[in-house]
Structure 1
Amino acid sequence: MTDQDARIIAAVEGATDRIVTTLADLIRFPSIVMTDPTQAGPGERQCQEYLKERLERIGFTTDLWDPDGPALLAAYRGRPGAHPGRTFEGRPNLAGTLRGQGGGRSLLLTGHVDVVPPGPPEHWHTDPFEPAVGNGAVQGRGAVDMKGGLACMLMAIEVLRELDIPLRGDVVWGTVVDEEIGGMGALALADRGIRADAGILAEPTGNAIAPICHGILWARVILDGIGGHAELKPNSWDATGPVDAIGLCRQMLDGFDILNRRWLFDPRKAHPLMELPCQIIPTQIKAGEHPASMAGRAEIVIDVQYLPSEKDEFGLGGHVKREVEAHIAAVCQADPYLRQHPARVEWILDADCAEVPADHAFVAAMQDATLRAGLPPRLIGMGAHTDMGLPNGLGRTPTVNFGPGDMALAHQPNERVPVDDLVACTRAIALTIAQWCA
């Protein structure tokens, strides 16, 4: 360990209370992503303004702007991150640059400020937007996903500035909105020309380095039965009905189970860093019109994972869409009624993915920095989707996921991140910046 490393580590340890306070400050902004993407969350702008002020205090030049959703859609329709119906009034992105002395490599620190709604208040032990600190952890909505990571990145830069650590390369900041409903904020950041020689996206990874994430597809599978009295004997199985759409739903769910079992042994669906092969996950079911009537219609919403190696010519999941559609058609062919009245598939979302090679120079630099920070230099796959595809693609910035906390706690009530994780992450990011940008 060098003298500089020791100074950085000691300074981060001494800033533990400030790291916790910074995260608590961020949690207090209820930066909830709204189901209606034309509506601003109640704390999205205020959270970005707080970060803007903190960055400017340590020498960043900043850019806070409301992206133009329709213009982005027109420019990138059919490409990663381009989703219809987005407007960004009151939902700003924030970019910033801390200029280095020149002649060094630049580093992008990026993440999202939006959080999912907290859900029923009775599921929480505390107010989700009033951070609770105790038992060695910070609790509140966004503590894990991903304001803990934002606090670590911000504090890592502040510590380096206070120590007057010389940096030749620029440190670039980019915090976005819209991640939790598709990632158009990240598209706006890349379109703005925000890029660097490498990047860290501080999503929760348990302080492991995740150079790959899944892409995801959301689809609505619609099954039309024929409504009728639930307590009477049906006339027939066919169009004279009634035909129970909930029964059809069971058949379709069985069909997804069959495809999932097949994918468990399909090498195209697996990656050595991923814990599990890609799967189809039913996440929502809607069916029925009346307690005494057979359901005339059922809808199943599915979440389908795909790997960077499966991307189509547009960098999206077109190949996997067609694979899923073909399987749904085959399930329908096996049933006489569905053969005549096949399921309809409506694709809702295609969120892209990316991979930085494990032997990339920045991955090696991060592994070295995490080791010096007292962490195992582990590489893992990010089972969930993150925004890393857009900086890697349009932004031309090789970006990895690295952040504090257990991703399994994301979106849960009583979301919490250990203070030790926050401090260790801040150490590792500070050492990475000092090494990479030198």
Structure 2
Amino acid sequence: MELERLVSELVKFKTYSNQELRECASFIAEYFKDQGYSPRVKEYEPGYPVVIVDNGKEGRQVLLNGHFDVVPPGDLSKWSVDPFSGDLKGGKVFGRGSADMKGGLATLMEVFVEVAEKVDYSLVFTAVPDEETGGQRGTRHLSEKFSPTFVIVGEPTQGMVNVGEKGLFQVKVIERGKSAHGSTPSLGDNAIMKLVKDLEALEGVAKIVTELQEVLEASKALADVDPLIAKELLHVSFNPGVIKGGSKVNVVPDYAEAEVDMRVPPGVPLKRVEEYVRSSVRGDVQIIDSSHPTISRGELVEKFKKAVGGKAYISTYATDGRYFRFKGVPTVVYGPGELKVLHSYDEYVSVEELRLTEKRVKEFLLGF
């Protein structure tokens, strides 16, 4: 099957909100069976199938990793094509997940088949169902079961090589007050107003910047693609993503909460961010999720960068690569797709980039 056709077929599975995960996993497994391999489909947690296939060899090990879950399509009226049609036109495959990351997944599938029998080391392909929701049911388990020499994650990187990523610090801020009639607010204590003051104080977390040289260099590389994203890499980001409070417009609210997402660059300890948060707000603070920033260094990372000819950069967002980096495994993220189209309407991946990525990764593996 042509690479772009494989991408198109994968896009047709509506793998968001836990839908059609088993069906897509079965399709991937059948692809490898047709090529003469014996894939395993494992559910480390019920309802979340992980596809694993290897070439049966021992010694050094390279693990290829990708995900087949996608984010929801959003407002269908804003798409010019059916988001799950996998339309192929103008040298592009359109549809939800075409870039993030069924294009990269199909590329790694093809690469595995093309080189698995030609190399003298262990090559493992893995496809997971939950990267978009944190990777706890997929790649986290894989990082505990496998001890590879090197990992390649096929997320879209627009020709660059992702060698690290910002950490994650998400909190819930809760304020409590006193109810009263909306016509006499002085008799109450407005929890929403208290929460607003907390958020205004918390916004100052964005003034915390990194001075790590690798991050500064990565920001310069990213500036060629998107100057705004490049700036975001240098400091802690601040985004209140959810706010809840009040029951009725004419009632002084006695409860309000906000969920805040912060991304932390390498070189800034999570503890420093936590201390800032707790000292800046008067309400209760609950940590929702957190993970440390990561960077991969060393000979294999440099060898990969040279082989594919890509500039190194660090992402503002998290990938499943962090699970292997936490274990000290050299890990790169490299795959087809433009960063500007991720999670967007009329998402697409170009056929030219698919084939170029396939060629470069294959050459690296054959010379590993």
Closer, same or farther: CA 270–427 of 1 in aligned 2, 3 Å: closer
Aligned to 2:46: 89
Cα deviation, residue 49, structure 1: 1.6
CA distance in 2, matches of 1:345, 1:62: 45
Aligned to 1:434: 366
Aligned residues: 353
Q: Bigger radius of gyration, 1 or 2?
A: 1
Aligned to 1:291: 249
Matches within 5 A, 1:176-187: 176-184=128-136, 185-187=138-140
Residue 229 of structure 1 pairs with residue 167 of structure 2: no
Aligned to 1:22: 6
Q: Describe the SS at the equivalent of 1:367.
A: helix
CA distance in 1, matches of 2:94, 2:179: 47
Matches within 5 A, 1:111-150: 111-150=66-105
Cα deviation, residue 310, structure 1: 4.7
Closer, same or farther: CA 288–125 of 1 in aligned 2, 3 Å: farther
- What is the alpha-carbon root mean square deviation over aligned residues? 2.4
CA distance in 1, matches of 2:300, 2:250: 62
Cα deviation, residue 108, structure 1: 0.9
Aligned to 1:110: 65
Q: Describe the SS at the equivalent of 1:283.
A: strand
CA distance in 2, matches of 1:152, 1:189: 20
- CA displacement, residues 14-70 of structure 1 (integer Å, 9 cap, x when unaligned): xxx8111111111111111x3xxxxxx221111112112222333444221111xxx
Q: What letter is aligned with 1:57? A: D
TM-score by length of 2: 0.87
TM-score by length of 1: 0.74
Cα deviation, residue 248, structure 1: 2.2
Aligned to 1:267: 211
Q: What letter is aligned with 2:254? A: G
Q: Describe the SS at the equivalent of 1:294.
A: coil
Closer, same or farther: CA 278–149 of 1 in aligned 2, 3 Å: same
Q: Describe the SS at the equivalent of 2:121.
A: coil
Q: Describe the SS at the equivalent of 1:381.
A: strand
Closer, same or farther: CA 350–287 of 1 in aligned 2, 3 Å: same
Q: Is the 8 A contact 2:109 2:125 kept in 1?
A: no
1:195 is aligned, of 117, 127, 147, to 147
Cα deviation, residue 301, structure 1: 1.0
Q: Describe the SS at the equivalent of 2:161.
A: coil
2:288 is aligned, of 348, 358, 363, to 348
Aligned to 1:52: 29
CA distance in 2, matches of 1:408, 1:299: 31
Q: Is the 8 A contact 2:185 2:252 kept in 1?
A: no
CA distance in 1, matches of 2:364, 2:10: 24
Q: Is the 8 A contact 2:171 2:286 kept in 1?
A: yes
The structure in which a higher percent of residues are strand is 2
Aligned to 1:157: 112
CA distance in 1, matches of 2:181, 2:93: 53
2:303 is aligned, of 347, 352, 365, to 365
Residue 65 of structure 1 pairs with residue 20 of structure 2: no
Closer, same or farther: CA 189–246 of 1 in aligned 2, 3 Å: same
Closer, same or farther: CA 416–435 of 1 in aligned 2, 3 Å: same
Closer, same or farther: CA 124–64 of 1 in aligned 2, 3 Å: same
Q: Describe the SS at the equivalent of 1:423.
A: helix
- CA displacement, residues 148-192 of structure 1 (integer Å, 9 cap, x when unaligned): 11011112233446xx7x31112111112222222211111122x
Between the aligned residues of both structures, percent identity stands at 24
Cα deviation, residue 263, structure 1: 1.2
Closer, same or farther: CA 252–187 of 1 in aligned 2, 3 Å: same
Aligned to 1:401: 333
Runs of 4+ aligned structure 1 residues displaced above 6 Å come to none
Q: Describe the SS at the equivalent of 2:185.
A: coil
